Structure 1
Amino acid sequence: MPNDPHAGNRLLAGLVDDAGLFPPTALAMPDAVARHRADLAAGHGVLTHRFLCPASRLGELRGELTEPDRMAIGLIADTGTQGLPGALRELDEDPRLRLAGLEFPLSGTDEPKPEGAVAAVLRATVEVPGAVPLFLEPATFGDAGATCAALTGREVSRTVGLKARCGGVRAELFPSVEALARFVLTAVAAGLPMKATAGLHHAVRYIDRGTGFTHHGYLNLLVAVADAVVGAGPDTVAATLRTTDSVGLASRAAGLDAATVAATRRVLTSYGSCSTRVPVEEAGALGLWHTAS
């Protein structure tokens, strides 16, 4: 048993963004808003209580809100650099919504190379308040290094990091453990934060019986980042991503010291989950979340 029974709390606190609008759950907007309201009322500490919403659906979201609603929005810039100013105006004009994060797919720019795409997004986001973190999703995993280089070579007045797509509705959207390990190590070496999205439906790596897809686990990813921040190499990080030993993985997570937990969460800030129930339940089942006594 770890010396600190609440070590898991610090590792998992504020980890899960609400991605209920996205596949495979893909809730209708009324249902997504209702679930988010319920989660806000419950206030579980594993959740960030940020609602991930595409820029293209802000009008739909606003139509479902009532006057008392207050929502922190993680804006997905699916309308590209040209559509961003309008989305930002919508958020600014609605007191029920607060921009809490911005996620930008670099494939949504007109620039074919990562360096140009990064420059285009930074120009487009210059008016975004500096307290709002920006996460850039490289067009491919192989572009992570060039994206990092483009960021670290610039003076940026806000938190800017990388976004890793860990799955999706097609098999090719799931990166290999080796590719994901390289992505993690690239972010750590560059001193950049990252967040993750898609495919992380359960704590531990598993095969979905319906699709046959092998999914990465959110706990695998957390512990792999912990490996990376203490200096592990690609083979070790990949092995952690590959393991399906839930007991061993939970034991490793619970045994992390406070400094490693803090460093891990400076890198992996959050991930988007279409379910806000499963991560909470699995954290408890694995003994990694303890309520105050």
Structure 2
Amino acid sequence: MSLPALFRGLFDDASVFPPGDLPLGEAVPAHTGHRLAWYAESVGPFLCGAGRAGELSALRPEFPVALVLAPGSSTYRPVPGLDVVGVEVAASALPELPDGVLGALELPYGEGLFKQLDQLAGTPHRAKFRTGGLTAGAFPTVAELAAALTACAELGVPYKCTAGLHNAIRHTDPVTGFEHHGFLNVLLAAADPARAAEALAERSGAVLAAAARELTEPQVAVARRSFTAFGTCSIAEPLADLAELGLLTRENR
């Protein structure tokens, strides 16, 4: 199988976070395996809570790591033995970060979003949007997510997403009844922000797959400059969705 540019570096490994909760001793070799697999280009950094950074360092990982600070914390300290390439923060502002470390500031949805995005505009850092969780309220509506992605496009602020995006297509979870966004929906919304709400609301895999195949190279570049990655507890699950949709068999862009 080939890996189109649309999906390269898209899947940040959040296997140690809920609902995966994989022990670090298992997650580290598993991530190493991902980076040796045929789909290695799709895999982003390994996500780890900053409070467990010492534990992770003791395992001597030989791959890039993004540290997730505790909610409300904006203090970052380098960790010996870790190749830290990113720091993710749910606070009022990003900490001062060294060159080569990309910040992601988790922002709430709502009327004040433009003002909060201003602090990221013109910097190399990203916004971070929560797209799911353990309650129905953790999932933004189509209108809320579309407004956030459109605001980012207007200000030139890239973003990543976290939680709830394991599957490619928008769907209703048959067990919880929660409305899940699809990562393919978000990619298409990023490619054409003027039609973000329409792309996010689409539930047909055939329609979304056809739209993805029709993207031009410039459109793919626009999509990935905006929607840079999302955290997923499973690397296999999103890849399986893409394979089922026939989106891993094209020539690379």
**TM-score, structure 1 normalization:** 0.80
Q: Which residue of 2 aligns with 1:129?
A: 98
Task: Give identity over the alignment, percent.
Answer: 34
2:54 to 47, 51, 59: 59
Q: Which residue of 2 aligns with 1:27?
A: 22
Q: Which residue of 2 aligns with 1:10?
A: 5
Secondary structure of 2:65's partner?
strand
1:71 to 56, 63, 66: 63
Q: Which residue of 2 aligns with 1:148?
A: 117
Is residue 215 of structure 1 aligned with residue 206 of structure 2? no
Q: Which residue of 2 aligns with 1:3?
A: none
1:263 to 219, 222, 241: 222
Return closer, same or farther for 1:239/1:140 CA change in 2, 3 Å cut-off. closer
- Give the partner amino acid of 2:68: I
Is residue 163 of structure 1 aligned with residue 132 of structure 2? no
Over residues 113-150 of structure 1, what are the superposed CA-to-partner deviations in whole Å (9 max), with x where a residue is unaligned?
xxxx23xx2xx32xx32222211111444442121123
Post-superposition offset of 1:177 = 0.3
Over residues 140-176 of structure 1, what are the superposed CA-to-partner deviations in whole Å (9 max), with x where a residue is unaligned?
4444212112333xx74xx112111000111111000
Secondary structure of 2:6's partner?
helix
Over residues 66-89 of structure 1, what are the superposed CA-to-partner deviations in whole Å (9 max), with x where a residue is unaligned?
5xx40210111226546422xx2x
Task: Give the distance between the partners of 1:178 and 1:45, measured in 2 at CA.
Answer: 34
Kindly report structure 1 stretches of 4+ aligned residues shifted beyond 6 Å.
none
Q: Which residue of 2 aligns with 1:282?
A: 241
Find the structure with the greater CA-based Rg. Answer: 1
- Give the partner amino acid of 2:115: A
Which structure carries more helix by proportion?
A: 1
Is residue 188 of structure 1 aligned with residue 153 of structure 2? yes
Q: Which residue of 1 aligns with 2:200?
A: 241
Alpha-carbon RMSD across the aligned residues, in angstroms, is: 2.2
Secondary structure of 1:241's partner?
helix
Task: Give the distance between the partners of 1:224 and 1:214, measured in 2 at CA.
Answer: 17
Task: Give the distance between the partners of 1:129 and 1:168, measured in 2 at CA.
Answer: 31
Task: Give the distance between the partners of 2:242 and 2:106, measured in 1 at CA.
Answer: 27
Post-superposition offset of 1:239 = 1.9
Task: Give the distance between the partners of 2:189 and 2:242, measured in 1 at CA.
Answer: 17
Point out where structure 2 has 5 or more consecutive residues left out of the alignment: none
Greater alpha carbon shift after TM alignment, 25-34 vs 41-50: 41-50
Point out where structure 1 has 5 or more consecutive residues left out of the alignment: 1-5, 107-116
**TM-score, structure 2 normalization:** 0.91
Q: Which residue of 2 aligns with 1:172?
A: 137
Task: Give the distance between the partners of 1:161 and 1:105, measured in 2 at CA.
Answer: 12
Task: Give the distance between the partners of 1:281 and 1:43, measured in 2 at CA.
Answer: 13
- Give the partner amino acid of 1:70: E
Is residue 250 of structure 1 aligned with residue 209 of structure 2? yes
Return closer, same or farther for 1:226/1:172 CA change in 2, 3 Å cut-off. same
Q: Is the 8 A contact 1:202 1:217 kept in 2?
A: yes
Return closer, same or farther for 1:82/1:195 CA change in 2, 3 Å cut-off. closer
Is residue 102 of structure 1 aligned with residue 87 of structure 2? yes
Greater alpha carbon shift after TM alignment, 47-56 vs 213-222: 47-56
Task: Give the distance between the partners of 1:46 and 1:281, measured in 2 at CA.
Answer: 15
Secondary structure of 2:36's partner?
helix
Q: Across the two proteins, how many residue pairs are aligned to each other? A: 252
Q: Is the 8 A contact 1:46 1:280 kept in 2?
A: no
Post-superposition offset of 1:40 = 1.7
Return closer, same or farther for 1:216/1:79 CA change in 2, 3 Å cut-off. closer
Q: Is the 8 A contact 1:39 1:49 kept in 2?
A: no
Secondary structure of 2:4's partner?
helix
Secondary structure of 2:223's partner?
helix
Q: Is the 8 A contact 2:109 2:148 kept in 1?
A: no
Over residues 210-253 of structure 1, what are the superposed CA-to-partner deviations in whole Å (9 max), with x where a residue is unaligned?
2111110000100011121xxx2xxx311211111001101001
